[in-house]
Structure 1
Amino acid sequence: MTEKLTLAVIYGSARQGRFCDTVASWLIRELSASSVFSLTIIDPVRLRTSRGVEKAIDPAEWMERKVAEADAFIVVTPEYNHGYPAALKELIDSVYEPWHAKPVAFVSYGGASGGIRAVEQLRQVFGELHTVTLRDGIAFPKAWSKFDAAGNLYKPDELRAPLFLMMDRLTWWARTLKSARKTTPYNEIAA
């Protein structure tokens, strides 16, 4: 049996009353039966609230460990004012080398654009971190009209094919890059 890969789902918003919880919960429900990935969550809200509760937690060390342990990432991001949220930028920028040679996929949401402008900006940021960003992703234009009050999609079948495609490609990249990192550590290539 093949060892499970670790997939980190990154919440992109820290706003009170955020819609990110609805979108991320849908994604996590869809991925929960995965035989390929074990899921872990990186949430700026959890990180901020844990600072005062657990004195032993260092946010930078916690983030570095979470990114280092992950084989792949899905960023669930809203689009705020044609960009991605500051809380997401803070999470991303708190770590450097652990991002290297790992794949990143996107699930975005927002108004008419569905968050695609935020994703395009994130591609530039993740490119600088030596990740591989996937072309295939999920976008929810007018996201609040796609889900019922319980967080269920009104038309779930419409997104299954794009989600499966994104996950198949993310799996391929995650396995390929994990194998490559084991063969030759990325930081040794240009050393």
Structure 2
Amino acid sequence: MKLVIIVGSVREGRFGPSVASWFAAQAGEHFDLDVLDLAEISLPSALPSNAMALRDVTGRPAEMRALAARLDAADAFVVVTPEYNHSFPASLKHLIDWHFTQWQAKPIGFVSYGGHGGGLRSVEQLRLVFAELHAATVRETVSFDRHWEKFGADGLLIDATGPNAAAKVLLDHLAWWAQALAEARAVRPYEAGAA
């Protein structure tokens, strides 16, 4: 199964790559990985006014078609997100809004980081966004409160015991959902709005 790990922050001095690197090391035992760092992706600033245009990627530039193909190939996603002003980064919302069918009937997990709340407010808001796109978010999350105290200057976790255990639970559930939904899509392709 293919897992796309999305690094959601593009801010200078961001912490997301350290968190994503740790999580990718855990996830490699469960999935084939594709790490998508939004700092390395260029999306047009304006979305098409016609929502149907978001469903058809054939007229997009080659770089955007390749990005859509990476998302299409995923059996599951994990979003690595900070919490900015009690929400998730605009760069992440922009990626989500540029794609529609790529998220449908696929499971999404979350790894968050932030201050005292550990980024959980951003996760709860992302659950609402992905529900609108017909994705299935898994209940389990990995959250790092006061993340700057949890990782050393080398970017490695100081004590990985708890986070590794939480990641295993998340990945086990994500793998179950990825397999179940892949089998369901193979039998009956998912159509948004279909009963």
For 1:80, what is the secondary structure of its paired residue?
Answer: coil
Cα deviation 1:25-77 (Å, max 9, x = unaligned): 11112223x1x31000122111139xxxxxx9644323311111000000000
Q: Is the 8 A contact 2:26 2:168 kept in 1?
A: no
Structure 2 CA distance for partners of 1:31 and 1:111, relative to 1, 3 Å: same
Match of 1:42 among 26, 36, 59: 36
For 2:11, what is the secondary structure of its paired residue?
Answer: coil
Unaligned runs of 5+ in 2: 44-59
Q: Is the 8 A contact 2:134 2:192 kept in 1?
A: no
Q: TM-score, normalised by structure 1?
A: 0.89
The aligned residue for residue 145 of structure 1 is 149
For 1:16, what is the secondary structure of its paired residue?
Answer: coil
The aligned residue for residue 86 of structure 1 is 90
Matches within 5 A, 1:97-116: 97-116=101-120
The aligned residue for residue 161 of structure 2 is 157
The aligned residue for residue 130 of structure 2 is 126
Distance, in Å, in 1 between the alignment partners of 2:85 and 2:66 is: 29
Distance, in Å, in 1 between the alignment partners of 2:101 and 2:191 is: 8
The aligned residue for residue 25 of structure 2 is 29
The aligned residue for residue 65 of structure 1 is 69
Distance, in Å, in 2 between the alignment partners of 1:96 and 1:85 is: 19
Distance, in Å, in 2 between the alignment partners of 1:63 and 1:188 is: 21
Equivalenced residue count is: 179
Query: Between the two proteins, what is the percent identity of the paired residues?
Result: 44
Q: TM-score, normalised by structure 2?
A: 0.87
The aligned residue for residue 50 of structure 2 is none
Name which of structure 1's ranges 151-160 and 165-174 shifts more when overlaid on structure 2: 151-160
Q: Is the 8 A contact 1:63 1:94 kept in 2?
A: no
Name which of structure 1's ranges 146-155 and 176-185 shifts more when overlaid on structure 2: 146-155
Q: CA deviation at 1:82?
A: 0.3
Q: Is the 8 A contact 1:63 1:95 kept in 2?
A: no
Distance, in Å, in 2 between the alignment partners of 1:97 and 1:30 is: 28
Unaligned runs of 5+ in 1: 50-55
- What do you get for the CA RMSD once the two structures are aligned? 1.8
Q: Is the 8 A contact 2:38 2:92 kept in 1?
A: yes
Q: CA deviation at 1:22?
A: 1.0
Distance, in Å, in 2 between the alignment partners of 1:161 and 1:154 is: 15
Distance, in Å, in 2 between the alignment partners of 1:140 and 1:147 is: 10
Name which of structure 1's ranges 90-99 and 76-85 shifts more when overlaid on structure 2: 90-99
Q: CA deviation at 1:188?
A: 7.8
Alignment-mate amino acid for residue 14 of structure 1: V
Q: CA deviation at 1:142?
A: 0.5
